[in-house]
Amino acid sequence: MLYYAFGVLASRIQADLALTASQTFGAFSWSVLVAGLAATPVGIAIDRYGGRWIMVAGSIVAASGLACLAVAGTFFTYMVAWTLIGTAMALTLYEAAFATLNQSISNEAAKAISTVTLLGGLASTAFWPLTEALAVRVGWRDTLMLYSVLQLALCAPLHCLLDGAGARKTVGHQHVGATLPEAVRQVQFWLLAAAFAFNAFIFSALSVHLIRVVQAFGHAVELALMLAALIGPMQVVGRLIERTWASATPPAIVGMYTFAALPAALLSIGLFGASAYAVGAFCVLYGLGNGVMTILRGTLPAAMFGRRHYGAISGALAAPALLAKASGPLVFAMALDVASVQQALVPLAMMSVVSFGLFLLAVRRGGLLSVSASPT
């Protein structure tokens, strides 16, 4: 509701509110920035108070933001709505959910995170057509108002069922781990944060501009759309593979293959983009990697720094990635405007190699290539 509906409704909102494209999409980027800025304090709050009421509050803020967007008549109100929605993203989406799971069921958190991301991979599949169908029938404003009601009637009550701060199901020394100040003093924290940020920048840039990139290689828009449609199912396939075959594999090993997938994907489209098969290979690798990357964001912080202050640490790790995610589409659009598609892809390919190298350095510094996937 908070993320995927906008892609379907953006053109209607822009036309109705008489906004420019930069205003329409800039406000959405602002919401991602707000989510990035709020990620660390939200993680600290979940560590201290538990995720139940934090996520309930997030549903209420989400309902308020969606309702505000539904009634927006000016750019000021539009920006207020996206500020609320960005705050709600930090309170309810993956990072908050991962912190809550690690706190309440730490012994089974990795499995639970995998399950949540597997179901989350179906979000775009469900909400893109649902949002379009509703918008055609009742308009974009009533569609958003309906989603606002669903946040209060469905999401908030479900969040009330989560375990509270005192319901941690752990054994032994599962709470041993670094504090946030201790983590940020470790080199591997910054290496991992940079690796995630570079990947987020690339993924967000290509997600927005992939159709334009494929067309620039001489393919028809129909073929571009068909090949791009592979990405969503491949994300789910990647998570299924991680959930089944790789379920007992340490996250550092899973991460090696995941981070390596993006340079391979960019090499495929950068060198052989005129071939539809190469574009298809890119979409498959891109989707598989993006699907598993979401799981790694949830499992690697616990493996590297422990679970005791997982919320604060994972929030701090997520903040640079969210900021990169917000800037990626704009920066890549500027590159495409002044360079050929092959030239614009070169910096992304270099960043993907750097990201892979930073990840390898991070897990080696953290000692994760020779230890169990379940830290103690």
Which H/E stretch holds residue 131? helix 123-138
Look up residue 138 and give its amino acid: V
Quickly count: other Cβ atoms within 10 Å of residue 193's Cβ.
19
Give the model's pLDDT for residue 353: 96
Whole-angstrom distance, CA of residue 135 vs CA of residue 70: 12
Q: State the average pLDDT over residues 355-359.
A: 96
Give the model's pLDDT for residue 125: 64
Quickly count: other Cβ atoms within 10 Å of residue 151's Cβ.
24
What CATH number belongs to 4-160? Answer: 1.20.1250.20
**Domains 4-160 and 180-365 alike in fold:** yes
What residues contact residue 129 under an 8 Å CB cut-off, 6+ apart?
A: none
Please state which of the ranges 118-132, 233-247, 348-362 shows the lowest mean pLDDT: 118-132
Across-strand partners of 98?
none
Query: Is residue 106 a contact partner of residue 169, using CB atoms and an 8 Å limit?
Result: yes
The band of 372, judged by pLDDT with boundaries at 50, 70 and 90, is: very low
Q: Could you read off the pLDDT of 111-120 as tens digits, one per residue?
A: 777 777 777 7
Q: State the average pLDDT over residues 102-116.
A: 72
Summary count for the chain: helices (H), strands (E): 17, 0
The band of 248, judged by pLDDT with boundaries at 50, 70 and 90, is: confident
pTM of the model: 0.77
The b/e string for 24-49 (b: 16+ C-beta within 10 A; e otherwise) is bbbbbbbbbbbbbbbbbebbbbbbee
In Å, what is the CA distance from 120 to each residue of 5, 79, 93, 128, 374? 14, 27, 10, 13, 23
Q: Give 177's DSSP letter.
A: B
Give the model's pLDDT for residue 167: 45
Q: Could you read off the pLDDT of 157-212 as tens digits, one per residue?
A: 988 887 654 444 444 444 467 888 999 999 999 999 999 999 999 988 888 788 88
Q: Could you read off the pLDDT of 12-44 as tens digits, one per residue?
A: 998 999 998 788 888 888 998 898 889 889 988
Give the model's pLDDT for residue 319: 86
Does residue 304 have a pLDDT over 70? yes
Whole-angstrom distance, CA of residue 46 vs CA of residue 164: 10
Per-state percent for the chain, helix, strand, coil, to nearest 5:
80, 0, 20
What CATH number belongs to 180-365? Answer: 1.20.1250.20
In Å, what is the CA distance from 99 to each residue of 21, 45, 148, 220, 294? 35, 10, 24, 43, 13
Q: Could you read off the pLDDT of 277-289 as tens digits, one per residue?
A: 999 999 999 999 9
In the Cβ-directed half-sphere of 320, how many Cα atoms lie within 13 Å?
Answer: 14
Name the region of 37 (left: φ>0; alpha: ψ -120 to 50; beta: rest).
Answer: alpha
Whole-angstrom distance, CA of residue 233 vs CA of residue 244: 16
Whole-angstrom distance, CA of residue 344 vs CA of residue 336: 6
Q: State the average pLDDT over residues 59-75.
A: 95
The band of 124, judged by pLDDT with boundaries at 50, 70 and 90, is: low
Please state which of the ranges 112-126, 145-159, 238-252 shows the lowest mean pLDDT: 112-126
Residue ranges of the domains in the chain?
4-160, 180-365
- CB neighbour class for 165 (10 Å; exposed up to 12, middle 13-18, buried from 19): middle
Give the model's pLDDT for residue 57: 94
